[in-house]
Amino acid sequence: MTLQDAMDRAAAGIAKATEMGVPQNIAIVDAGGHLLHFSRMADAWLGSIDISIRKARTAALFKMPTAAIGELSQPGGDLYNIEVTNGGLVSFGGGLPVTDADGRVIGAVGVSGGQVSEDVAVAQACVG
Amino acid sequence: MTLQDAMDRAAAGIAKATEMGVPQNIAIVDAGGHLLHFSRMADAWLGSIDISIRKARTAALFKMPTAAIGELSQPGGDLYNIEVTNGGLVSFGGGLPVTDADGRVIGAVGVSGGQVSEDVAVAQACVG
Amino acid sequence: MTLQDAMDRAAAGIAKATEMGVPQNIAIVDAGGHLLHFSRMADAWLGSIDISIRKARTAALFKMPTAAIGELSQPGGDLYNIEVTNGGLVSFGGGLPVTDADGRVIGAVGVSGGQVSEDVAVAQACVG
Amino acid sequence: MTLQDAMDRAAAGIAKATEMGVPQNIAIVDAGGHLLHFSRMADAWLGSIDISIRKARTAALFKMPTAAIGELSQPGGDLYNIEVTNGGLVSFGGGLPVTDADGRVIGAVGVSGGQVSEDVAVAQACVG
């Protein structure tokens, strides 16, 4: 993913978040999970900076939405407490992989700052 | 929040804790989550030093009581295992944001050393 | 500092880096050291992501250029090995505080990706 | 050391720092290196919060002034890079042990926020 592509995705997310009236943190990482772009909107929770970056990283490292991991990480689940690995993963909604025209994962976005459903909606706007 | 304001809040918390007969650790942070003041009463648990500071930081970074996060971070909840983010959050009671006359968050207090209900009562005494 | 202000500073830094032909990581934090905006240019070193963020955070937390700390942290210096504090500081050039019209520190920029002199030149373009 | 004793020492340090016109962070730990009291004066560097606590902890854990460790931790010295142990030590001036009437170490103070010589002067005011 290019920086320009990431900037366009962040702008789409900010537009959606502004429309929803929810200040968000938006992180975009490459396929290796390394940070490519980050934006924090005015009044967004400071604690969500780290969460947005971890959501994006988690989605990239496992090539799936963070919420899909959360379904398996509950008590009794196959991936119970996987969150403590990799220096700290996030397994609730708001992290989504980004794929190219061939379906290959080229990066991921992570959004944090609102209710989880709001984070997911903004992440979807970034994915496009 | 000024240091004098923090000292007054700590004194109010210590008075309450003394009245309750529970030795407490009381941490006060600014709006950015940075430590401003800390007091440990005689015989308070050493393990609660870190917890009180993390409670205050958590409440500041998310502008809400730590217990409100705990309601969402349980198994099956929207924010399951959010505690592993931000270098370690605390999501049970005892951390409360402090607001100014306009309702703006200017910092937070974190109290640890007793039962959670006791920690909350002392934190409330600090908030005033 | 507003997000728009940070975006403008990042754009100024990217323009300078492009002119110099050096791919850079550019991080911008608020006065509390919390990340506000980040951009990684194509082909910039992945190891410099973290360094750029730490440079910005270091400059904000001490309200001075990172290089000023490095002058004091050498063997025999007043602040020898200060880098191991605060979860890891960076004390070589490329982190600069940003001040408002009254000289008050409102945030900081951190640049990493080239020679230190190149990082400093890009950081200066961000500060303006 | 009692909390009241720590509060009195912090007050003495704040009085000295105010007289010197240097905003300081003042940390006081017990003989085990565990935080007992902390105060941050207005406009003190945020990066010095952590440093003051580490100075106090270092002085308590080794029962000597932090500067004495720094003399041995230089390149070629007996304790080269000891700073990376114990989760991060500080070996420049500003951390001093506190002893009782029998010369037994009962805790330590750590001061950070000014030039090292200023930090030491305030730490000495705390030790009394």
Section C47-68 average pLDDT: 98
Cα separation of D65 and D108, whole Å? 9
Q: What is the pLDDT of residue C65?
A: 98
One-letter identity of residue A38? F
Cα separation of D27 and C104, whole Å? 26
Residue A28 is part of a domain; what is its CATH number? 3.30.450.150
A39: enclosing H helix or E strand: strand A35-40
Tokens of B28: 């006060």
Give me the interface pTM, i.e. the ipTM: 0.96
Q: Does C86 touch chain D (CB under 8 A)?
A: yes
Question: pLDDT tens digits, residue range B11-67?
Answer: 999 999 999 999 999 999 999 999 999 999 999 999 999 999 999 999 999 999 999
**Alpha carbon separation from D10 to A15, C34, D47, D110, D116 (Å, rounded):** 49, 29, 19, 10, 18
Question: pLDDT tens digits, residue range C13-40?
Answer: 999 999 999 999 999 999 999 999 999 9
How many structural domains does chain D have? 1
Q: Could you tell me which of D27, D78, D86 has the C-alpha nearest to residue D62? A: D86
Tokens of B101: 């006359």
Chains A+D touching (3+ CB pairs under 8 Å): no
**Alpha carbon separation from C16 to B103, C10, C27, C81 (Å, rounded):** 42, 10, 15, 32
Mean pLDDT taken over chain C: 98
Contact C62 D45 (CB under 8 A): yes
Chains A, B: CB pairs < 8 Å: 52
Contact B81 A73 (CB under 8 A): yes
- For residues A30 and B61, the answer to whether their CB atoms sit within 8 Å is no
Residues 36-55 of D with CB under 8 A from B: 36-42, 46, 49
Question: pLDDT tens digits, residue range B85-116?
Answer: 999 999 999 999 999 999 999 999 999 999 99
Q: Which residues of A29-39 are buried (b: 16+ CB within 10 A; e: fewer)?
A: bbbebbbbbbb
Q: What percent of chain B has pLDDT over 90?
A: 100
**Would you report the helix, strand and coil content of chain A in percent, each value rounded to 5?**
40, 20, 40
| Among chain B residues, CA nearest to D40 | B36
Q: What percent of chain C has pLDDT over 90?
A: 100
Q: What is the pLDDT of residue B97?
A: 98
Section A85-108 average pLDDT: 97
Q: What is the pLDDT of residue A104?
A: 97
Cα separation of A83 and A54, whole Å? 10
Q: Could you tell me which of B90, B124, B50 has the C-alpha nearest to residue A47? A: B90
Which of A1, A8, A25, A34 best tests the C interface by mutation, with the highest count of C CBs <10 A?
A34
Q: Could you tell me which of A100, A78, A114, A77 has the C-alpha nearest to residue A30? A: A100
Q: What is the pLDDT of residue B49?
A: 98
- For residues B27 and B35, the answer to whether their CB atoms sit within 8 Å is yes
Q: What is the length of chain C? A: 128
Q: What is the pLDDT of residue A110?
A: 98
- Residue A72: pLDDT band (50, 70, 90) is very high
| Among chain C residues, CA nearest to B32 | C32
- Selecting from C63, C80, C86 the residue whose C-beta is nearest the C-beta of D50 gives C86
Residue numbers in B near D42 (CB within 8 A) = 2-3
Chains D+C touching (3+ CB pairs under 8 Å): yes
Q: What is the pLDDT of residue B21?
A: 98
Strands in A35-40's sheet, in edge-to-edge order, are A95-99, A105-112, A25-30, A35-40, C35-40, C25-30, C105-112, C95-99
Model confidence, pTM: 0.97
Tokens of C9: 């500073």
Rounded (10°) CA dihedral C110, C112, C114, C115 = 70
Chains B+A touching (3+ CB pairs under 8 Å): yes
Q: What percent of chain C has pLDDT over 70?
A: 100
Section A22-43 average pLDDT: 98
Its sign, for the CA torsion A72, A73, A75, A80, is positive
Q: How far is D110 from chain B (nearest CA, A)?
A: 14
Tokens of C21: 């032909």
Contact D47 C61 (CB under 8 A): yes
- Selecting from A70, A74, A88 the residue whose C-beta is nearest the C-beta of B85 gives A88
Cα separation of B90 and C57, whole Å? 24
Cα separation of C54 and B27, whole Å? 26
Tokens of A71: 């379904």
Q: How far is B51 from chain A (nearest CA, A)?
A: 17
| Among chain D residues, CA nearest to C89 | D47
For residue D94, give its domain range. Answer: 3-127
Q: Does B60 touch chain A (CB under 8 A)?
A: yes
Averaged in consecutive runs of 10 residues, what is the pLDDT profile of chain D (128 residues)? 98 98 98 98 98 98 98 96 97 98 97 98 97
Chains near C, with 3+ CB pairs < 8 A? A, B, D
> Can you state the angle between helices D3-20 and D116-127, rounded to 10 degrees?
140
Cα separation of D28 and D106, whole Å? 11
